[in-house]
Chains A and B, each alone.
Chain A
Amino acid sequence: MLKTNVCGVEFRNPLMLAAGIMGSNASSMNWILKSGAGGVVSKSFSLKPHPGYVNPTTVAVEGGIINAIGLSNPGVDNFKEELKKIDHENNVVIASIYGATPDEFSQLVGEVQEFVDMIELNISCPHAMDGYGASIGQSCDLSNTIVSASCDVAEVPVIAKLTPNVTDITEIAKTCEDAGADALSLINTLGPGMKINIDVARPVLSNKFGGMSGRAIKPIAISNVYSVYEAVDIPLIGVGGIYSWEDVVEFIYAGARAVQIGTAIMDEGVEVFAKINEGLEKFMAEKGFSSIDEMVGLAHREL
């Protein structure tokens, strides 16, 4: 009943681990899959190892957390070894990659696609260095070149992950669709945001600014999914502040075919996936739905 299909890729349920959360090695991703997620998105990685920012890289605030980990990763050569160790049977494995140029992205796609089912392009991290992350996803031109370059070499479906930190997310969404993206995931963290400690009058994060995630950003994510659903024809994956099965239903009604869960793991533990699946299945049975497909985009119906 919980099965869903995103651009031809079958998920046994619509829940997956969001990029950047517990996705640094195969062991933790296997744990998430065992805990009930239908798929995992790795932490974003680049061609070379990168240590990220100095701590503090994360601080909790009302309604979620602000992070500026700074895209730390062990580089593609090391990460490939982790991707190989993920339990692929009946699970969807997605690599999240980042770079600064079309060439870096296409190189990464070429290096990892044999080990994964899909590739997600991180063109949306709000605390990345200049030239990376949201600095790509905030520009239609750059998004277009990077998505095109990635899709040109990709033999697996490509997902572009969008930033909400733009004037009009539907423009970027349409650009990515035109450039060949097979699916879109939205949204990445919101912001940048900042936390200042008032005793010492100092921003807490070493990078000062970070991306906001957690419960507080869910309404923004829902509205972005809703708007983009009306603007494009490719499937959407909803991300942002999902803690419960009710949240998942909202995202699906807004137009998502699957969702990604991250910050909720901090409060609810890894058990959050099984708990949501159970609640979702019960809800679907009560409402008489026999598939996720029947629920996608229902909030768009004219009364």
Chain B
Amino acid sequence: MINEPKIVEIKEIIDETPTIKTFKFDWDMETLGKPNPGEFVMIWNFKNEKPMSIAQINDNELAITVKNIGEFTSQLHDLKTGDKIGVRGSYGNGFNNSFEGKNILAIGGGVGMAPIHSIVSDLIKKGNNVDVVAAAVTKDELLYADSLDKLGANIHYCTDDGSFGFKGFATDCTKGLLEDSTYDYAFVCGPEIMMKGIFDILEDANIPAQYSLERYMKCALGVCGQCCVDSEGWRICVEGPVFENDKIYQITEFGKYRRDASGVKF
């Protein structure tokens, strides 16, 4: 882990969907630290700095997957291969990747598929059977279809508009899967409203799970307090971004509200 930005060159840019790109860069695991799936890095484009999930952890290479949703992400999308960015981290408490030979369900909504991709790669390598619910609004926005297929995951595509795979939300798709199968453990990342829905379903089905949360972040070092959540005060940048289901019960703001750059709730 490093606490000041390391400048890296973008080696490859993959146009994943009309709004989502993956950026790959070299990362010397020995000197800079080897991240675990679920951890995040702070990306500095010399104008601003934001947290991004690690989407792939390869041999001395990392990838982040970025959806173009605002000024900063739009600036990232304008970058070309060979351009530079600053990266610090990796930070946070990642997913529990110690499972072997288990039946796992991974659910990702939209660009929330990014950390799901890195944990699924790891779990498959460890001999787990992994079902993935890959959800998006429409067919063109489905992420990592080829890559997950190659890894050997059983993918259940799901689109809000029904343009590909199951028609409807990730929650409905998950409910359907649980009618025929059961799982030892689940991993979830996506819009918080989706995660709240999935949380209720998995709790009813007694499937323990981990959820990757997102909050406004400034220091990422555990001091500024900007990302602390009610009501235990846990820092998303240190105690999170990944929390187990029993901890999610104690995050009373989960699915309800979050805070902006000033700290005002919305």
Contact = CB atoms under 8 A, between A and B. Distances in A.
Nearest to A78: B264
B50 A25 contact: no
Interface stretch (A93-101, A142-150, A195-203): A195-203
Nearest to B262: A49
Q: Which 5 A-B pairs have the closest CB atoms?
A: A60-B3, A28-B233, A31-B233, A27-B233, A58-B219
Given A55-B48, A266-B223, A72 B218 contact: yes
Interface string B222-266: 111110111111110000000000000000000000011111110
Nearest to A195: B4
B262 A73 contact: yes
Contacts of B219: 57-58, 65, 67, 69
A20 B264 CA distance: 16
Interface in A16-46: 20-32, 43
A204 interface: yes
Interface of B: 3-5, 7, 42, 44, 46-50, 84, 86, 218-226, 228-235, 259-265
Given A22-B235, A25-B233, A263 B218 contact: no
Contacts, number: 137
A206 B259 CA distance: 21
Most A CB atoms within 10 A — which of B235, B260, B263? B263
A263 B230 CA distance: 22
Contacts of B228: 22, 24-25, 27-28
Contacts of B235: 22, 28
B229 to A, nearest CB: 7
B223 A200 contact: no
A41 to B, nearest CB: 12
A219 to B, nearest CB: 21
Contacts of A199: 7, 84
B241 to A, nearest CB: 16
A58 B43 CA distance: 13
Most B CB atoms within 10 A — which of A32, A56, A58, A67? A56
Given A25-B263, A49-B263, A72 B226 contact: yes
A9 interface: no
Interface string A58-102: 111100010101001111001000000000000000000000000
